[in-house]
Structures are given as C-alpha cells and as structure tokens.
Structure 1
Amino acid sequence: MFTDEVVDSVSIQSLWRKSQQSSQESRGCQTRVVHSAEAEAQTVSATISCTQTEPQYQATQQLFPNHDELEPPGLKDFLQRVEDTVIRELVKNAKSHAFDGFQVNWEDHSQLVSCLHCLQHPSAHERGLHVTSVSWSCTGSVIVCAYGRIDDGDWSTEGSCVCTWNLDRRALNPKQADLVIDVPTAVTALCCHPKQPALIAGGLYSGEVVIWDTSRTQDPVLVQTGMSVDSHREPVYQVAWVPMQKKGEFGVLSASSGGRVLIWTVDSDQGRLVLNSAYALVRQQVPHSSSSSFKVSLRIRENTVTNQSTLSEMYFRLKTMLVHVLSLSLSLSGEVQIFDLGRRSLRPAATIEQGDQGQAATCLAFNCQNPHLLAVGKTDGTVGVWQLSTDLTEQSPRESAQLEQIANQVAE
C-alpha cells in the first residue's frame, strides 16, 4: 500500500559556474599624462609719416633775388629796345588762326593701333612669295590676299595663289587659309565685288584679267580676258569694279604698267570679258615732281574705235589713302606710318610695326564695313589685321567739312 511520507530535499551545487568564475580575470591600462599648454602672440604695427615744406623766407629768396645785387650789364637797354617788337608779335599771334583746332596728343602712340591677326599661308611662306595685294569683301568679314613677287624684274612663269580668310569664323586658323586658289602666274592686283561677296577680280603678271567665283568649288575661274589684241601686254597692277550705265551692273577697270587703262564687261553667254573702253596715258603727261597727287588727262578709245575726241580727267594718288583725313605711308623697312592731317604735325600719329625688320610693306586696304580695321601685306608673306582707335577713325566737324571740300574739288 502506498503511504505519504515527507523526506528532506537534496540540492546539488553547479561546479561549471564555479569553474567559470575562477577563470575570469580583469585587465586595465592607462596612458602617460598628456600635458597641454596655450600660448598667444600679437604683433604691433606702427606708421609714422611727416611732411615739411620749405621755409617761406627761402622760397621768397629763390623767386625774388635781392634787388641790391647789380643787374647784368645791358639787360635794361635790351628789354627797352625789344619791348615794342615783342608786344607787336604777341598781338599778331593773338589774332592768328594758325593753330585753331589743334589738340595736343598726350596718349602713347602704341595704344592707337593693335594687332588682331597675323595671317600667313604655309606654302607661300616656304616658297618666299610676297603679298602683292589685299582686299576686303563687301560684307567686311572675308579678307582676300594675293601672292607673287615684287623683286623680280624679268618675265616669270612661277605659279602663285589667292587665299581667303573668314575672320568671323570661330575656328579661324591664321596659319591656314580657308580657301586657296592656285594661279599659273603671279597675281599683282585684287579687288572684291562691291555687291557680291563671292566675286573677286584679279590682275596677273602676264597681263590677263580674271574674275574668280569662290562659290564654285570645282573651277573658281568665272571669266578671263586671255591673250588677245585688246588685252594688256604688261603686268596689271590695279583692278577695280566700276558701275556701268545699266543700273546694278559693274565692269572691271584694269591698269597696267604700260600706261593702258581698260574697262571690261562680263559676257555671261560667252563666258569671257569683253572690252568696253580703253584709255592711254602719255608719258609727257606725268609730272616730274615728288607730289603724291597729280592730275592727268587721258584720251578715251571707246569700243576699240580710234575716235579720240572725248577726254576724261582722272585723279591718281600714289600710295595714299584718305580716311578721317588720314594719310598712310608705306616704307621699305616694313613700317606703316599714319599721319593725321587735322593735327598739322609732321610726326606720325601712329606707327604700325610687325614682323622682322627689313621686310617691306607692299599693300594695304581698309575694311569697307568697319573702318577701324586695316590690312597690311608684307614681303615676308604675312598679312596683318590691325585695329585703329576711335581717335584715328572718328571724324570731327572740321574734318567733315574738309572732306566735303575735297570731294567738291574732285567733282569739278
């Protein structure tokens, strides 16, 4: 039988807990004592300045010497003798208008001009070709340069070229032309069309007159004169577009070293230049003087007919261009001197110097749209594009009157 019975409880202690407590150890570490310090510094600045003028008695003594001292002998007599003459000249100068409008230029001349671009074609530079002519397009953004030689007096068959640069192009490369037109002989003259920017008239060393069309990529030669009875026999050193009788029509005027001035019209049907008028310059009509401007009478031969009853008067200016009453002079040393005729001074208002010394400046041309830009060609094959300041290009009221007077004299 089962019976209830109370017995004592039995407890057993854990040996694992004791073993774990006995194996625990404590560790500790400490760094050395860190010392800190604070320091401050401050500088002291002091400025001492002082000025002092000369004593008043010293300045008075320098300006007004002692009257007790003896005057130089003869000084009083001299002043009395010239008193009337000096007063008379002073009154005369006060009434004179010789220096009316004269303004002293205190600015540095080097600041009046600045070089924007120095253009050069590598092939022409390697062959030692010279820049013979420059011209601006009617838009004022494209500059055309002709290459040839000016130091070769013999007949030459050496080829040359015509190069163009668009100055408004972002990727402008001054050392590489945008367009190169190869020409079998030296180009001696250039002139861009006043209305059509793609047309360029040129004169060659062989006596031919050519019109190039830059819009034609395959063959840019639009028309040319060729070697005929009516064409030039000598190098053509000047070409220009001139208005004809028909409104909007332009012809090409060409002048050669032989004294012949010819006017050509473009025959689109036949694709050639047709002679319209011819002029002859007699040697006796050229004055033997050093004047830069002279007037000559030319006999006209119209349509190759020997009728010499009509006379025409033309003005020639040698190496001179007038803008804002400016006179530009080219030198063999490569300098371009700009004279302002309104200042009445023999010294140049500005001087353009570029490249090596001894390389002559051969040609120049103003931009028709921007009169501040001037292109100068040299014998080293470079074309410099210079910017003139407003002091050299803006017209004063007096200069406008002078230009109007010159225009009226030429019209008469």
Structure 2
Amino acid sequence: MNKRPISTHQGRSTSSGSSASTNHEVFYSFGFIHGVSIGSKWGQQQNESTEHSTQTMTITYEDEGMQSRESCVSNEYSIQEGIVNNQEIQTDSEEEVIKRIKQECEQKVSTGSILSFLKNVMPQMEKELENAETVHYVSFMDYDVNWSVDIEEMSAAHELKLPERVLKKLKEPLSVTDLSWNCKGNMLGVSFGRLNTTGWCIEPGYICFYLINPDIYTDFNLDPKVTIENEESFVMKIAFHPDKHNIVAAGTYDGGIKVYKVHQDTDTLLCQTPIETYSHRDPVTSLQWVKNRYDDSFLIVSMSGDGKMFLWTINNKLEQPLTAISLVHPSKGTPLGGSSLSFLNLFGSSALSQKKVPTLDSSFILGTEVGNIYKLAISDSKMITTRKLATLKKGVVNFKEEKIEFSYDNGTGYVHTIDSNSFNKDLFMSCTNDGLVRLFNSFKDKDILTLQPSTDRCAGAKFSPFRPMVIGVANSNGHLYMYDLLESFTEPINDIDVTQDGKSLTCLEFNKHNSLLLATGDSSGRAKVFLISTRLSQMQPQEILKCHQLFSLSSIKNN
C-alpha cells in the first residue's frame, strides 16, 4: 500500500468577545501510514458435483403421404401429397369467432341487397313453379322417401263415441254428421245430429274433440277431451281453422254459425250469427274456411238448402256477412238448394298447393240437392277484405247473383260431396245418391272416369291429400272403399266393413297433416280412425305426372 503524506499546517483563529479578543493557534501535521490489503479466494476451493445418466427407448420414424382437407371454426389446414401448406391457427374462443363471423356477414350482406336479389329472382321462380305442372321434370320422379314404419294393411286404430253421460240422456242414438282434423293433425272434431230429420228440431246436438296420439294406434273407446252441447239444434257441419289449432266453426240445423275456442278441458263460444233476414233458414250443408290472398285473412263460407251462400269474418263477431250470394237456377230462375261445394285448387301441383287451404279467388264447384253440378266464381273477390267492414251498413246486406260459368252432366239424386284434387287444379269429383263417384276435368262437361264401388248409396268421397291417385269412398252399406288409380280404374284396392252391423257410413275425412290417418263416421254415432297402409299413403314414382296425363284437357281431347 502506498504511503500518503500527512501535512502539518500552522494557522491562527480569532474570536471576538464582549470587549476582548483571543487568538488561538492550530497546528496541522502530515505523515505516512500503512494500507490494508485483502486477497481473493476465488478458484481456491472447488465445488462438489455428481453425475447421473438416463436411458430412453429408441424413437422410430416413418414417412407417409396423405391428402386431406378440413375446415372448421377454430382452425383450418390443407395438406396435399407432396405439398404442405402452413396456415394460421385460430385460437380464439368459439363465441368470439361466431361474433366476428356475424359481423363480417353483416358487413358483406345487407337487407337491401337480399330484397333486391329476391325481387330479381322471384318472377322466374314463380314462372318455373307454374311450368312444373306441364313440363316433365324427371330429376326426382323416382325419389320416394319413407320416414315411417311400413304398414302392410289398413286397420282400425281408434273407436270414438259420445261420453256415457250424454248417451244416457238420448232416447235414440245420434249420427255422426261431420268430421274435421285440426291444423296440427292431433285432434279430431266430431259433430253429432240426425240426417233424417225434417221440420223443426228441438233436440240438442254435440261436438266432441278427441286427442289422437300419433304414436299409439290401438286405443279403443277413447274419451273426448272436450264435449260441446248445442242446446238449440243438431250440429251438422264443423271446420277447424287452417292456422289456429284450437279454433273451430260449427254449422247447425237451424242455420246458425258458431265459432268456438277449445281449451285443454273446456270451450269458449267466441261468436255466433244472429237470427236475421240474411241468416240461413235451413240446415247448413257446407262449411269451410278459405284464405283471402289480398289481405291474408281467413273467411268462413257457409251454404244451405235455402239457396244462400255467405262469407263471414270473425273480425266483426259474425254480426253480418261480408258478402251474400243467391244461388239461382240458370234457366228457371228458382233458388238452388246447395248441398256441397269445393273451391278448386288454384296452384296445381306447385309447392303452394301443398298448404291445402282453398283461396277465395279460385272458382268453386257447387253440388245441389237435385243432382245438378255447376262451376261458379265470386266476381268481386279482390274487394272482399276485412277493410270492407268499415263500409258496411249494419243490418243492410245486398244479395247478388253469380253467373254460372259451366254446367256438368247431372247425377241422380242428392250430391253428398264435391272434392277437389290437391295436385291437379282442374280435377274434382262428385259423390251422389246413385252410388256413383264421377271424376271431372273442370273444363269438360262429361265425367272422365266413373267409379261404382257397390249398388248402394255413396255417402262421401275424398281425394287423398298425399297421393293424387288415391280416393276414399264411404258407402251406405257400412263399407269403406279405397281406390288406387295407379292399380285399377274399376276395383278398389281395399274393401273394409267398418260398421260390421249394416249401419250406414255418413262421412270420411283424411288427416291432412298425418298421411297415415283417416277417420270415418256412421249413422249409429260411432267414429273410427284407421291406419292407412304405406302403399296408399306414400307418393309413388311419377304419380303426379301420370295424374296430369290422365285428367288433363289435352289428353281428353286426344282420346
């Protein structure tokens, strides 16, 4: 260590007091001292350590080529043989990815662009749908999907009667007068009255509603969920609303129209027609809902043997009809007693026709009590909207006569049913007292095909809503006849003795929402639900095309 010199210094300091001063002398001296040295010990002491070793299995590698493509929300990759494409991996949460995709879609597609696109393509799409009725599209003609279990033979699944408390009050059994399925296809409405009554009626009628489980096909003696008693007279016709499953209209023997709302175990009377000069005075013979395409409302069409036809709306509580039509014989000028009517299918075999709801602006076929059959149309159907209620004067109803567009060959006796085909806009059939079922093209006065299942009176005939060439016929001998016109024009494919005691069948109704179900009613007050065989319920290859070829006007002229 170097020695540092320490110096000495001699100085003087002065301090002042009260009156005297004192001088101090301070001496400093300098010299040399020894430093301290501290040595490093780094590297002099060695750290202790140990050695270990591990052993693993030998890893083998194999090179293979592969080709795959996959895309998903969270990641995506693309690998081709010999080429590897590296792409970014998306690791965001699923919610964030979905949110970002929605935002990107909203930025790329606006509501305005969608509407513009639809306006451009809709005219062509509508044109193609109309052309589909005549053009032979064969792409899917042989494609037939069967989602249900095959049913080889028709069989009875349910037997429905009036509740015991009602049966005990009756002196004589009531007949089933009409049947109607609701828009879900899970409830059947059955009306009860008598078909051979003349003059005044002072007995009550009934409507029973039965829940039909589509998965249970062997539930006999099913009790009704709701029973409505009409104290004034029999109930002759019923019709469920096309869109509302618990709204039902009823037509009575005294000419009244009532609309009910059916709840789980009860019912509510929503509205009914008053007894006025513009009401029906005879039993209601036809009752159905039709759609007005100009304001998307549903109207009730009623008809009776008094030669009157009314259009009602529940928007005015049935206080008075929107339109009143007088049915008059074209040459004699006498009132025509209407017995049945059916609106023709306006849309043919297009997708719109599968809604199976008749429209007000289409022509309708009228059957009469004496066997006449006519084609008519409501001339001012475009003007009949719910807005018309604002211009109606209460209590003032003007009757109008509609021009008869076409007359068809008469049958013999009462026309029990007129029914239009759901797949062919020109095809309809009539069922009359002479036991004949006649199939017509609406532009030809003579029938194209005649079916005679027996020599007994026919009580009703209906087209299948799922197969254009299948027809069900209810007969007064108690038998149900099922025709498949793809198989035979003369012989029924099924002949079922429904009543088994000779009682007459009075009506039948296909379920428009379940292809396997069909209901019948008889004169002893029993209703039965049948399972339809798969062959009769499933559309067959090229069936619509064959129906058009058989019943189109061009094929008739060629023959």
Q: TM-score, normalised by structure 1?
A: 0.64
Say whether residues 1:226 and 2:267 are aligned partners.
Answer: no
State the distance in 1 between where 2:155 and 2:220 align. 19
Match of 2:515 in 1: 371
The question of whether the paired residues in 2 share the 8 Å contact of 1:235 and 1:257 is answered with: yes
**2:484 corresponds to which of 316, 331, 340:** 340
State the distance in 2 between where 1:290 and 1:231 align. 20
Match of 2:225 in 1: 178
State the distance in 1 between where 2:212 and 2:527 align. 13
Say whether residues 1:305 and 2:398 are aligned partners.
Answer: yes
Query: Secondary structure of 1:272's partner?
Result: coil
**1:351 corresponds to which of 461, 478, 495:** 495
Deviation larger for 305-314 or 183-192: 305-314
State the distance in 1 between where 2:270 and 2:325 align. 25
Query: Secondary structure of 2:259's partner?
Result: strand
**2:161 corresponds to which of 100, 120, 140:** 120
Say whether residues 1:130 and 2:175 are aligned partners.
Answer: yes
State the distance in 2 between where 1:198 and 1:277 align. 26
Match of 2:115 in 1: none
Calculate the aligned-residue CA RMSD, in Å. Answer: 3.5
What pairs up with 1:253-268 in 2 under 5 angstroms?
A: 253-267=301-315
Deviation string for 1:32-84 (max 9, x for gaps)?
xxxxxxxxxxxxxxxxxxxxxxxxxxxxxxxxxxxxxxxxxxxxxxxxxxxxx
State the distance in 2 between where 1:274 and 1:312 align. 28
Return the letter of the residue paired with 2:513.
Q
The question of whether the paired residues in 2 share the 8 Å contact of 1:146 and 1:163 is answered with: yes
Return the letter of the residue paired with 1:212.
Y
Query: Secondary structure of 2:185's partner?
Result: coil
**1:159 corresponds to which of 200, 204, 224:** 204
Deviation string for 1:302-360 (max 9, x for gaps)?
87335547767799433321122122222112111112222234221102222342211
Say whether residues 1:189 and 2:230 are aligned partners.
Answer: no
Say whether residues 1:391 and 2:508 are aligned partners.
Answer: no
Deviation of the 1:379 alpha carbon: 1.1
The question of whether the paired residues in 2 share the 8 Å contact of 1:239 and 1:255 is answered with: yes
State the distance in 2 between where 1:406 and 1:254 align. 33
Say whether residues 1:274 and 2:323 are aligned partners.
Answer: no
Query: Secondary structure of 2:191's partner?
Result: strand
Match of 1:321 in 2: 462
State the distance in 2 between where 1:176 and 1:148 align. 19
What pairs up with 1:7-86 in 2 under 5 angstroms?
A: none
The question of whether the paired residues in 2 share the 8 Å contact of 1:335 and 1:352 is answered with: yes
**1:381 corresponds to which of 522, 525, 550:** 525
What pairs up with 1:242-257 in 2 under 5 angstroms?
A: 242-257=290-305
Query: Secondary structure of 1:267's partner?
Result: helix
Return the letter of the residue paired with 2:230.
V
Return the letter of the residue paired with 1:379.
S
Return the letter of the residue paired with 1:282.
V
The question of whether the paired residues in 2 share the 8 Å contact of 1:188 and 1:237 is answered with: yes
**2:256 corresponds to which of 208, 230, 241:** 208
State the distance in 1 between where 2:330 and 2:401 align. 17
Deviation string for 1:342-396 (max 9, x for gaps)?
2234221102222342211111111111122100011111110001111112222
Match of 1:30 in 2: none
Return the letter of the residue paired with 2:239.
C
The question of whether the paired residues in 2 share the 8 Å contact of 1:136 and 1:143 is answered with: yes
Query: Secondary structure of 2:192's partner?
Result: strand
Deviation of the 1:156 alpha carbon: 1.1
Distance 1:306 1:173, change over 3 A: closer
State the distance in 1 between where 2:152 and 2:245 align. 32
Q: Which runs of 5+ in 1 are unaligned?
A: 1-109
Return the letter of the residue paired with 1:179.
V
Deviation larger for 188-197 or 154-163: 154-163
Deviation of the 1:244 alpha carbon: 2.0
Deviation string for 1:230-256 (max 9, x for gaps)?
111110021101112454411101111
State the distance in 2 between where 1:272 and 1:232 align. 13
Query: Secondary structure of 1:365's partner?
Result: strand
Distance 1:307 1:193, change over 3 A: closer
Deviation string for 1:153-191 (max 9, x for gaps)?
232110021101111298977342111111111000011
State the distance in 1 between where 2:519 and 2:367 align. 31
Q: TM-score, normalised by structure 2?
A: 0.48
Q: Which runs of 5+ in 2 are unaligned?
A: 1-150, 337-365, 385-391, 409-417, 419-429, 432-459, 554-559
Query: Secondary structure of 2:506's partner?
Result: strand
The question of whether the paired residues in 2 share the 8 Å contact of 1:300 and 1:308 is answered with: no
State the distance in 2 between where 1:250 and 1:406 align. 33
Q: Percent identity?
A: 23
The question of whether the paired residues in 1 share the 8 Å contact of 2:373 and 2:407 is answered with: no
State the distance in 1 between where 2:230 and 2:369 align. 36
